[in-house]
Copies of this chain bind each other. A is one copy, B any other.
Amino acid sequence: MSSVLSVVPSAVPSVVPSAVPSVVILGGGFGGIEAAKALRRAAVRVTLVDRHNHHLFQPLLYQVAMAGLSPADIAWPIRSILRDQANASVRMGEVTGIDLARRLVMLDEAAAASTAPQPVTIPYDYLVLALGSRTVYFGHDDWAAHAVGLKTIEDALEIRRRVLTAFERAETTADGRERQALMTFVIVGGGPTGVELAGALRELARFVLASDFRAIDPASARVVLLEGGRDILSAFPPDLVAAARRQLAALGVEVHVEALVTHVDSGGATVRMPDAAEPNGFREARFESGTVIWAAGVAATPLTATLGVPTDLAGRISVEADLSVPGQNGVFAIGDLAVFTHQTGQPLPGISPVAMQMGRHAAANIVRLTRGQPTQPFRYRDKGMLATIGRSAAVGRVGKLKLRGWLAWMVWWSVHIFFLIGFRNRFIVLFEWVWSYFTYSRGARLITEQHRPPDPRPPP
């Protein structure tokens, strides 16, 4: 009979005693990673689930889209981040459902070359929802094909591909109208991402590509930044917004505010803009453009709508003061997935410092619950906000101090390099930054495609 026992496959994962409560964290962004790390000394088992194998330093993602950095410079394997945390494990997979009643998470594990996606169910005692946001198109899902958002590395590489290819095609087309459209870039959304993309795109055209073409002058590329609200950078004080607009104008970015996109197709975008000369106060404008970039709308993952918990219009979960999901014991929502209004009456902004502080706080509340203690309310400690525009151009508020121009730009880079995970990434990004500052070149000007197996067909 012992021979039977000896063939028990060594394959079965070791079962951790169920006395230790299980914390499942969904999402490896700023909030999820901070929550996992904050639990490193807690008597819990932590499972962090993400559909990618890497944590992404989102604030520098626009640099990948604009050919300044490589994806690996701003991403780091989640396994490496949690390597030395013995109570944490990582699962790569896409969350497909959450059963709050039975305390289960359903996910599809990534397909390997030899295996199909594998559905898996993971039970939890405590759950942290940190799945972040996704790009939405104000109900116009058909715009997605024409206007790429900027949430993932794949998005950034697609924007890079489209922008660089537009210049390639502009160089060779004989049709003047087509050339003009190819050299017009429309960025929808005047928040920090839109402003950063617009500035970096004008600099790419003006400095990096300037002498590489023969038939076109890349420096004449038109970059249009469209903001639907009263002004760009709505979270910033008015004098900093004015400084940002001056810096954008100096770079040659064309800014339109109160400009509502009403249509996007492969040839450009149609916009409703205020015009006092018109009887109804508005006119329709058409921007013929080969490349529309979408930095406007984000919403929570559609999963939140399936949970039967209170959400706002963007699908974000309206959390309690302690970050818990209303009516759910031991379930927390943080970061972009949560809307937290208990501090100022207004929702906290969807930025990484908020997500990180929330992650640490949710972890602390989970530890309190495991000890039978009451949870504590969350308070966001606002250290300020920064937005960069281009070379020596940025605006920022640090505490009550207002910064602009070169100083704001230095602070922006220092903060972003400091928060990049891992010495290696910090170093590479610093090098690329200094290098491109002095040489006006960019290190990642590649047009890459998805992989396709070789075409076995004979040539025509």
The count of identical subunits is 2
Partner pick for A446 among B54, B424, B458, CB 8 A cutoff: B54
Tell me the minimal C-beta distance from A108 to chain B in angstroms: 11
**Is A112 on the interface with B (CB-CB < 8 A)?**
yes
Interface residues of A in 228-251 (CB under 8 A from B): none
B residues less than 8 Å from A435 (CB atoms): 424
Quick check: is A447 within 8 A (CB to CB) of the other chain? yes
Q: Which of A382-421 contact B (CB under 8 A)?
A: none
Name A169's contact: one of B109, B155, B157, B451 (CB within 8 Å).
B109
Q: Which stretch (A173-181, A272-280, A344-352) binds chain B? A: A173-181
A13 to chain B, nearest CB (A): 5
Residues on B with beta carbons closer than 8 Å to the beta carbon of A146: 113
Q: Tell me the minimal C-beta distance from A366 to chain B in angstroms.
A: 21
Stretch at the interface among A207-215, A320-328, A356-364, A369-377: A207-215
> Hey, which chain B residues are within 8 Å of A80, CB to CB?
212, 441, 445
Nearest to A145 among chain B residues (CB) is B453
Produce 1/0 per residue, A434-454, CB < 8 A to B. 010001010111111111111
- Please measure, in the bound complex, the distance between the C-alpha atom of A390 and the C-alpha atom of B431, giving whole angstroms: 27
Tell me the bound Cα distance from A124 to B13 in angstroms: 65
CA–CA, A146 and B113, complex, Å: 7
Interface residue A115 (Cβ < 8 Å from any Cβ of B): yes
Q: Bound complex: CA of A164 vs CA of B79, how far in Å?
A: 12
- Separation in Å of the A190 CB from the closest CB of chain B? 21
* Also in contact, A112 and B458, with CB within 8 A (given A72-B444, A92-B447, A451-B158): no
Count residues of A near B (Cβ-Cβ below 8 Å): 105
Q: Which residues of chain B are near A54, meaning CB under 8 Å?
A: 445-447
Contact call A451/B155, Cβ cutoff below 8 A: yes
Binds B, one of A18-26, A32-40, A302-310: A302-310
Q: A176-B10, A424-B435 are in contact. Are A448 and B154 (CB under 8 A)?
A: yes
Contact B135 A97 (CB under 8 A): no
* Cβ-closest 7 pairs across A and B: A11-B176, A450-B450, A70-B70, A141-B456, A72-B444, A79-B212, A158-B451
24 A-B pairs with CB atoms under 8 Å apart are A13-B174, A53-B168, A54-B445, A70-B444, A72-B444, A72-B445, A75-B446, A83-B212, A109-B168, A112-B166, A112-B169, A112-B182, A114-B268, A114-B290, A114-B291, A118-B173, A136-B454, A154-B448, A155-B451, A158-B451, A424-B439, A425-B443, A428-B431, A450-B451
Q: Interface on A for B, CB 8 Å cutoff?
A: 9-14, 52-54, 70-73, 75, 77, 79-80, 83-84, 89, 91-92, 96-97, 109-115, 118, 120, 134-136, 141, 144-146, 148-149, 153-155, 157-158, 162, 164-166, 168-169, 171-176, 178-179, 181-182, 209, 211-215, 266-268, 289-292, 301-303, 305-306, 424-425, 427-428, 431, 435, 439, 441, 443-454, 456, 458-460
